[in-house]
Amino acid sequence: MSNSKLLYFQDALERYTRNRAKLDLGIAITSGVPSILGSEDPKIIIERGLAGSQVLLTQTAIDDLLGLEGDVVASTAFGATAMVADDTFGFVLACGGQVESVEMSRLYKATASSLSLVESASALPNSAFTDLEVLVTPGGNIVVRYNETSITANATNTLILLEMYLRLK
């Protein structure tokens, strides 16, 4: 067999897969409220958009979760303009500084044939956005927000699978 048919030579394949991890998060939205599925609870704060009146995703709560001050600026990432009521949810996932980058993310929604594909965002400004946005913080943690019409309206019940392909430090 000729080496010209290989996708990667051994050394290139090893470099490509080194420090790479896949993270799957199941999210249930019940009566408009998102929560993480599974028996293991990651260090996470997840909340639906409340047009800037976040109860869980506050600066103090995020700083306490991450053990870092200002790694995520709550008023920007989860501000009134970005986190539209009934249409958004977001979360902060504490990764202990292990994440270097997000190579790709996919979001599957069970109530429709919806698929969002994204690479890392460079910032999450307090402005309108569409679909899925994923940010790796300077401290190596993950911030995610998602926008879809009525995704967190009070009557919404749906399941979401979020896959993230991470590069670890």
Q: How many whole angstroms separate alpha carbon 158 and alpha carbon 112?
A: 9
- How does 7-27 read in b/e, with b if 16+ C-beta sit within 10 Å? eeeeeeeeeeeeeeeebebeb
Beta bridge mates, 144: 91, 134
pLDDT per residue as tens digits for the range 90-141: 999 999 999 999 988 989 888 665 566 677 788 999 999 989 999 999 999 9
Confidence at residue 40, expressed as pLDDT on a 0 to 100 scale: 79
pLDDT at 159 over 90: yes
Inter-residue contact 105 to 163 (CB < 8 Å): yes
Residues 28, 162, 62, 123: is their CA dihedral positive or negative?
Answer: negative
Confidence at residue 19, expressed as pLDDT on a 0 to 100 scale: 84
Q: What is the mean pLDDT of the chain?
A: 88
Q: How many whole angstroms separate alpha carbon 80 and alpha carbon 78?
A: 7
Model-wide pTM > 0.85: yes
Confidence at residue 1, expressed as pLDDT on a 0 to 100 scale: 45
Beta bridge mates, 145: 90, 133
